Amino acid sequence: MTRTDDTPSAWDERTQLTTFLDYTRGTARAKCDGLSEEDARKALLPGSPLMTMSGLINHLRWVEYYWFQVVFLGEDDHGPWTREDPDREMRVAVDFPLARLLDEYAEQSARYRDLVAAHHLDTQAKRPVRDGLHVDLRWILLHLTEETARHNGHLDILREMLDGTTG
């Protein structure tokens, strides 16, 4: 994968934040290149039966939905999770082709790029987080970059376990 985070086109804060989020998104998608449908659905870790390549991609998609649409914009939560099944987005991912999950993630990322471009980084979220505080858009971008990067590590390990692909 060609690195896209080395030299942003500008050095302002917004460009740096969005460049790194896009890079981590691209890395997640690249980890799935050439992966078979069967392997995308395999759970390899006995203690984490929901951790599949498909499950992680779907999780990343829905995490962004939650932070941008539910928390930042204040929209109703129509995510796949429930109180009884809080990780349902990972469970149901195996019911869909990996290509569809990747396409939906890419399409959604493009919409959120536009959303971020239309708001100042200091804009506060409409909904509070668990401690009652309203985070700003900057915090959400940082959080999503951390979340995506952490799961890229999981994707990297799973991919190597599945077929030996590294990098």
Q: Are 32 and 57 in contact (CB under 8 A)?
A: yes
The reply to whether 154 falls in a domain is: yes
Residue in this structure with the two tokens 């992680």, named with its chain if needed: 56
Close Cβ partners of 71 (under 8 Å, ≥ 6 residues apart)? 125, 126, 127, 129, 135, 140
How confident is the model at residue 7, as a pLDDT?
A: 66
Neighbour-count burial of 130, counting CB atoms closer than 10 A to its CB (0-12 exposed, 13-18 middle, 19+ buried) = exposed
Let me know if residue 12 belongs to a domain. no
List, for residues 113-155, the tens digit of each pLDDT value: 999 999 999 999 999 998 999 999 999 999 999 999 999 999 9
Count the Cβ atoms, other than its own, within 10 Å of residue 159: 22
Predicted local confidence at residue 11, as pLDDT? 82
- What's the one-letter identity of residue 129? V
- Report yes or no on 9 lying in a domain: no
Q: Is 7 part of a structural domain of the chain?
A: no
Predicted structure pTM score? 0.93
| Total count of domains within the chain | 1
Does any domain span residue 66? yes
Say if residues 67 and 140 touch (Cβ distance below 8 Å).
yes
Measured distance CA(93)–CA(137) in Å, rounded: 28
* Mean pLDDT computed over 44-51: 91
List the domain range (segments joined by +) for residue 42. 26-163
2 in any annotated domain: no
- 150 within some domain: yes
Which CATH number is 68's domain given?
1.20.120.450
The sign one gets for the Cα dihedral 77, 132, 123, 25 is: negative
Residue 166 structure tokens: 């590294």
Residue 56 resides in a domain: yes
